[in-house]
Structure 1
Amino acid sequence: MSEQSPPERRRRMRAEARRSVAAILDAAIQVLGERPQATMEDIAAAAGLSRQTVYAHFPSRDALVAAVFRRMTDEVLAAMDAARLDEGPAPAALLRLLDVSWRTIDRYPPLPAPAAADDDELHEPIFGPLTRLIVRGQRAGEFDRDAAPGWLIAATVALGHAAWAQVTTGRMPATEARAALRVGVLRLYGAQPPAG
């Protein structure tokens, strides 16, 4: 059997590193969802990797939690792209955005936010697409033209957090919280529900 060339060896090592990172993130989501105070050692065990391997990719628990939130954000952004926010009436696009965001977040257990991150930092990647949608809806007369886009974004995030908190504390079933979020956000934007 021939030895691998340096480029082949590097490709193999990168592929192994990607698999390790994916296993660590999957384990972190599961373990932290069950036990928010779980240690890096607990996550390493669940991933089937050594503690040293976990620390090689994530130097701290906060770095690992931040990576989980980045993964969640990346999934939300991909879902938003697929939701075609630039197409059709703005209120219908807004509801599609809420629906894809909810479905993505619903796949994750409630996780502790990274200690170093603030709420705006965690949500910043969605601000651009949402701002474009708001401006489009205001220009078309479908959203309240007097409402500042920044205010609508902040209030949308706050309502999303409130709806999710109702679910995670057991005060509302997910279907009711999602419906309440949809109604509340449309009212906030001064929009009529789409027909049908």
Structure 2
Amino acid sequence: MPAESSRVRSTNETRDRILDVALDVLGENPDAGMGDIAAAAGVVRRTVYGHFPSRLDLIRTLTERAVTEMTAVLTEAEANAIDAAADAAWVEFIARVWPVAHRYRVLLALRRGEYGDAIHSLLGPLDDLLAALVKRGQDSDVFAQHLPAGILSQLAYGTVFTIADNDRTTRARGARAATITSLLMLGVPEARAIALVDDQP
């Protein structure tokens, strides 16, 4: 039994290492193949395919992991800002989700490619939570109402990923820029957006 447990643990560690390395490799080159990922992870291609039968399976797993992490962050941010205005809740969410968005920034590029439909469907629960937050802001006249909440939330959140994808080194500055820019896209006046961000601990 202990040997079996050790084998399972080792298998899970290898799988997690492949996923972590895949994020790095794909982050540098979204077109990287399974062989590139295997080489970077220090394993043979057969090992990668043993865990992920196709590149799509690997992308799906990365997306599922991203959705789980980002959903947890949004849920916690909403709980912490339950009595706050929607724009303040948005700032809390972006501050907490920035490291996650930065880590999974490659999904933005992959979402525009052949895996777009798969990624889009997996991101559905997170999209719904973001739309609900934006709708709360629209209902209280905090966010603009010229677009439906679902579209507006995607535009604002897409901005966060775009800035994360172009900010490889200055993460603190990038997080500030992403938060202010996304607030502006949501219709928050610039002075209010800057004040909200500067009030963050």
Same fold (TM over 0.5): yes
Match of 2:99 among 74, 93, 103: 103
For 2:165 and 2:11, the matched residues in 1 are separated by: 35
Structure 1: unaligned runs, 5 residues or longer: none
Corresponding residue number in structure 1 for 2:90? 94
**How many angstroms apart in 1 are the aligned matches of 2:27 and 2:185?**
32
Q: In the superposition, relative to structure 1, how do residues 110 and 165 fare at CA in structure 2: closer, same or farther (>3 Å)?
A: same
Contact kept? 2:134, 2:143, Cα under 8 Å: yes
The Cα of 1:92 is off from its aligned counterpart by 0.7
Q: How far apart are residue 182 of structure 1 and its match?
A: 2.4
Q: What is the TM-score when the length of structure 2 is the normalising length? A: 0.72
1:148 corresponds to which letter in structure 2? P
Separation in structure 2 between the aligned mates of residue 165 and residue 34 of structure 1, nearest angstrom: 10
Higher Rg: 1
What are the within-5 Å matches in structure 2 for residues 17-166 of structure 1?
Answer: 17-84=11-78, 87=82, 88-108=84-104, 110=106, 113=110, 115-118=114-117, 120-121=120-121, 123-145=123-145, 147-166=147-166
- Tell me the CA shift for residue 25 of structure 1: 0.6
Contact 1:29-1:108 within 8 A present in 2 as well:
yes
Q: Deviations over 1:119-165 (max 9, x none)?
A: 63364232121122122223333223554212212321342344235
Residue 22 of structure 1 and its aligned partner are, at CA, apart by 0.5
Q: Structure 1 residues 163, 51: closer, same or farther in 2, change over 3 A?
A: closer
**Contact 2:128–2:150 (Cα < 8 Å) also in 1:** no
- Structure 2 unaligned residues grouped into runs of 5+: none
Structure 1 CA distance, aligned partners of 2:187 and 2:33?
Answer: 46
CA contact (8 A) 1:90 1:137 kept: yes
Give the 3 Å change call, closer, same or farther, for CA 188–40 of structure 1 in structure 2: closer
* Fraction of identical pairs, as percent: 28
**CA RMSD of superposed structures (Å):** 3.2
Q: Do the aligned partners of 1:66 and 1:113 also contact (CA within 8 Å) in 2?
A: no
- Return closer, same or farther for 1:84/1:110 CA change in 2, 3 Å cut-off: same
Residue type matched to 1:79 in 2? V
- Checking the alignment, whether the CA contact within 8 Å between 2:105 and 2:161 is kept in structure 1 is no
Q: Which amino acid aligns with 1:117?
A: G
Query: Pick from 166, 177, 182: which aligns with 2:179?
Result: 182
